[in-house]
């Protein structure tokens, strides 16, 4: 049985983890096995620059942190070597995008995205990989602006054709 001090430290750690899960807009769970120090450093730097918090955590602590929450189903992914990444509201898909990109480039195939969560819902590995392929906020906004511009320019061309047709003298 652990001492009261160690037990209280672990309870505080689990409470902190639970708060991270609740405050994150989305996140990813990965099996990080096979990653070397150089690649891990690059990956952590890229995640940090994107505003993503990435940490290796014991599976027991993760299970306790999600127990009784809407993402409790995520605990089935807490086996083997597990790391978790928490994304913020600026770019909710950043964690999935960066980790899936790294997974696709991993030659050893030991670094694997196990699953994720978004807005209180558990995502499978396939769903997480699909989300990772979506463009970021700026990409979505530019696509939306392009769609609006093309629609408006098409309307303007149609209206001009109608005006030109009305101005033609009858032959």
- Is residue 52 located within the same domain as residue 100? yes
Q: For the CA atoms of 95, 97, 100, 101, what is the dihedral angle to 10 degrees?
A: -120
Q: Which domain holds residue 164?
A: 136-171
- 47 — pLDDT class (breaks 50, 70, 90): very high
- Is residue 141 located within the same domain as residue 130? no
- Is residue 35 located within the same domain as residue 109? yes
- Is residue 74 located within the same domain as residue 141? no
> What average pLDDT does the segment 27-31 reach?
94
pLDDT of residue 150: 74
- Is residue 15 located within the same domain as residue 78? yes
- Is residue 115 located within the same domain as residue 151? no
Average pLDDT of every residue of the chain: 86
- Is residue 23 located within the same domain as residue 59? yes
- Is residue 40 located within the same domain as residue 121? yes
> What average pLDDT does the segment 97-121 reach?
87
Q: Is the pLDDT assigned to residue 146 strictly greater than 80?
A: no
pLDDT of residue 135: 67
How many distinct structural domains can be found in the chain?
Answer: 2
Q: Is the pLDDT assigned to residue 171 strictly greater than 60?
A: no
More confident residue, 63 or 105: 63
- 136 — pLDDT class (breaks 50, 70, 90): low
Specify the CATH number for the domain of residue 37.
Answer: 3.30.70.1730
In sequence order, what are the residues at sequence separation of 6 or more whose Cβ sits closer than 8 angstroms to the Cβ of residue 86? Answer: 20, 21, 23, 24, 27, 52, 53, 54, 95
Residue 86, helix vs strand vs coil: strand
- Is residue 14 located within the same domain as residue 98? yes
CB 92 within 8 A of CB 70: no
- Is residue 14 located within the same domain as residue 57? yes
- 114 — pLDDT class (breaks 50, 70, 90): very high
- Is residue 13 located within the same domain as residue 82? yes
- Is residue 142 located within the same domain as residue 103? no
Report CA-CA distances (Å) from 132 to 11, 69, 128. 33, 24, 6
pLDDT of residue 63: 95
């Amino acid at each position: 049985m652990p001492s009261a001090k160690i037990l209280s430290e672990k309870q505080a750690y689990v409470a902190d983890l639970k708060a991270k899960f609740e405050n994150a807009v989305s996140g990813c769970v990965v099996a990080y096995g096979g990653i070397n120090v150089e690649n891990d450093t690059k990956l952590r730097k890229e995640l940090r620059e994107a505003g993503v918090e990435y940490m290796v955590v014991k599976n027991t602590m993760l299970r306790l942190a999600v127990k009784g929450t809407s993402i409790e189903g995520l605990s089935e992914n807490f086996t083997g070597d597990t790391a978790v990444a928490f994304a913020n509201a600026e770019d909710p898909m950043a964690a999935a995008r960066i980790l899936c990109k790294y997974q696709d480039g991993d030659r050893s195939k030991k670094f694997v995205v196990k699953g994720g969560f978004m807005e209180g819902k558990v995502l499978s590995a396939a769903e997480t990989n699909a989300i990772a392929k979506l463009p970021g906020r700026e990409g979505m906004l530019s696509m939306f602006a392009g769609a609006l511009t093309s629609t408006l320019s098409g309307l303007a061309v149609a209206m001009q054709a109608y005006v030109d047709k009305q101005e033609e003298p009858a032959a």
